Amino acid sequence: MKTIKIGLLGMGNIGTGTYKTLEMNRKEVEATLGTKVEIVKILEKDVDRDRGIEVPMEKFTQDPDVIFNDPEIDIVIELLGGIEPASTFMLTAMKNGKHVVTANKAAVAANYHELMATAKENNIIFKFEASVGGGIPILGTLTGPLRANKFEEVMGILNGTTNYILHMMTKEGMDYDEALKDAQALGFAEADPTADVEGIDAANKLSILMALMFDHYVPPTEIPTTGITQITKEKIEEARSNKCKIKLIAHAKEEEDGSIFYEVRPMYISETHPLANINKEFNAVFVKGNAVDDLMFYGKGAGPLPTGSAVMGDVIEISKTILR
């Protein structure tokens, strides 16, 4: 019986969450596929870190070519974060005939066309469900069950760290720095949280959503973006006195003339609006399609296990094709 063999690039928070998801639910994963699934090699320098899980030392390597050149590896999971070397590694894996899964929104948004084209040229499957909305299965839903729609609008809380900070400032009266430290400790924030608090991470995710929903790719650097660094307790109080909450919203909408409007910025949201009640690291994505009408998706948008769940979901989908 074939074993699906995986090479993992990066074992930080999300890599660890992915490894744990597979270990925790190995029975379910392998029963679904009727085969064994194994992470056989891990590109990671920090081999001694306490990950709260046993990882055999012989799995670690510091040479990415060990993974790219291993003919037995079917799928490469890229969880290094950042645009480079992650993008180059994914392209190399594809050119070596490996299917690729990533959670890396920065790399997918920056190099969307090249990654998609290289996957197609090399006849491999490229999946990135975990890159938007963490554990929420939004990309597969937009490109699968909802594909019969012409999409009109998307509005989302797409960054768990900033939503956590705004929630803690609004509900718990925490100050900004304290809430950010908390989000970092819980494994929500990027290695450099500037991408979270400046809205860049949400812009990366909006760029991916727009490419899939409107077939309209806009580099994230061209999306008008404002983060939450200027949000003070006074502004939160002012919103409260207007029966509103401040939320970092990523928004794109098709205008009547067919052009697409897009932006990421903190907005006043009425306390009665469903998006106002998305708390902590939860994300929500509101979508309007011309046939299905309004839909809203809700779930944990950050964190090792919710993201690991989405990564492993992609691995299972690819494995089904490999085993066909």
Q: Least CB distance from residue 207 to ligand HSE, whole Å? A: 13
Active site residue 205: yes
Using CB under 6 A as the binding rule, whether residue 244 contacts ligand HSE is answered as no
The correct pick among 220, 289, 301, 313 for binding ligand HSE (CB under 6 A) is 301
Query: Which string of x and - marks every residue 154-183 that binds ligand HSE (by CB under 6 A)?
Result: -----xxx----------------------
Q: Least CB distance from residue 71 to ligand HSE, whole Å? A: 33
DSSP label at residue 240: H
Using CB under 6 A as the binding rule, whether residue 304 contacts ligand HSE is answered as no
- Going by C-alpha positions, the residue among 21, 200, 9 that lies closest to residue 93 is 9
The correct pick among 10, 134, 266, 299 for binding ligand HSE (CB under 6 A) is 134
Binding span for ligand HSE by CB under 6 A among 16-24, 114-122, 185-193, 245-253:
185-193
Distance CA 254, CA 151 (A): 8
Q: Of 41, 105, 127, 205, which one is the catalytic site residue? A: 205
- Answer whether 247's CB lies under 8 Å from 157's CB: yes
- Between β-strands 282-289 and 151-157, what pairing exists: parallel, antiparallel or unpaired? antiparallel
Distance CA 296, CA 285 (A): 6
- Going by C-alpha positions, the residue among 244, 308, 245, 250 that lies closest to residue 283 is 250
Distance CA 98, CA 69 (A): 10
Q: Least CB distance from residue 46 to ligand HSE, whole Å? A: 19
Binding span for ligand HSE by CB under 6 A among 29-37, 138-146, 153-161, 240-248:
153-161
Distance CA 267, CA 269 (A): 6
Binding site for ligand HSE (CB under 6 A): 134, 159-161, 188-190, 196, 201, 301-302
